[in-house]
Amino acid sequence: MFTLSAFADEISPDPREQIAVLKSCYIKHIEFRSIYKTNVLALSDEQIREFKKLLDGEGFKLSAIGSPIGKIAIDAPFEPHLDKFKRAIDLCGVFATPNIRIFSYYPPGNDPNFDPKNWPTHRDEVIRRMRAKAEIAAKSGVVLFHENEHRIYGDSPDRVADILVSVNNPSLRAAYDAANYVYGSFDPVEGWEKTKQFTAHFHIKDWKKGGHAAGHDYGVIAGTGDGNIAHSIRGAVAMGYKGFAVMEPHLRGGGPTGGITGSDLFPYAVASFRAILRDCGASEKQD
């Protein structure tokens, strides 16, 4: 049973346009990453109140706070980042969502030439930080969804599994993103099989192998890339999955802070994923 949601800032920076397009797609949930080109954790209290008022008036809810927590270098100071994390926890209460999307840290100094073979040197600090956040989340009644983002510690199937097994806390689960595995030159099927027992959230985008070097600069319609999205959806159906599938198509671009699809292409992306759900025998929960 899947409930569709969306990174609505892929549609437009304007929250009213976001909601109008999502209503036309019969989607009533948002993964709240940004409005007005400002990240959720950087918005003022007044902006947060206004957005909450808009959501309530339109009958929308959040699938999660789409935070950037964990998108800093592993050797950057932890305490200031932990303060931002606590802001995300507070926003869960404001928006009545128990979920936060997070990441597992860039290499030291955010070095673009970092060799992943050197991750074992920094593994213990990654696990320490992830465990600390999971413990805070558990005390707050919040669940953290770790996204397998490119270049972070948890970008490979083995390292994602390592985080979740080592932290061993039900307040830390996996957000499975097939396209991110493809983009990072990992096998998305292996990614699913090694992390499915921990997966409690889906991000829906697709990608072609080879990435930018092969001329693939943008995401593609779900089912037309190399993410083998149907494999994970069938697996989720077999496991009795009940949770969100969050549209994040990146059809006109994407990067560390978000993506762009546009109000014209977003409905096509949604329709294509709904076709995959039907083909895989999945049902969609309509609020």
> Distance between CA atoms of 65 and 87, rounded to whole angstroms?
11
Amino acid at 27: I
CA quadruple 158, 39, 206, 98: dihedral positive or negative? positive
* pLDDT value at residue 254: 85
Given its phi and psi angles, is residue 73 left (phi above 0), alpha (psi -120 to 50 degrees) or beta? beta
| Residue corresponding to tokens 């009545």 | 96
122 to 17, 127, 166, 181: CA distances (angstroms): 43, 9, 14, 21
Q: Which two tokens stand for residue 55?
A: 């959501």
Neighbours of 90 (CB within 10 A): 13
| Beta carbons of 10 and 250 less than 8 angstroms apart | yes
> Distance between CA atoms of 107 and 265, rounded to whole angstroms?
34
Neighbours of 22 (CB within 10 A): 24
> Distance between CA atoms of 247 and 261, rounded to whole angstroms?
10
* pLDDT value at residue 112: 95
* pLDDT value at residue 220: 96
* pLDDT value at residue 166: 98
* pLDDT value at residue 226: 97
* pLDDT value at residue 215: 76
Q: Which two tokens stand for residue 1?
A: 């049973």
End-to-end Cα, the chain, rounded Å = 12
Q: Which residues of the chain have pLDDT under 70?
A: none
HSE-up (13 A, CA, CB side) for residue 206: 19
The one-character DSSP state at 196 is: G
| DSSP per-residue string spanning 70-123 | T-SBTTS-HHHHHHHHHHHHHHHHHHT--EEEE---BPGGG-TT--GGGGGGTH
* pLDDT value at residue 256: 81
Mean pLDDT of the chain: 97
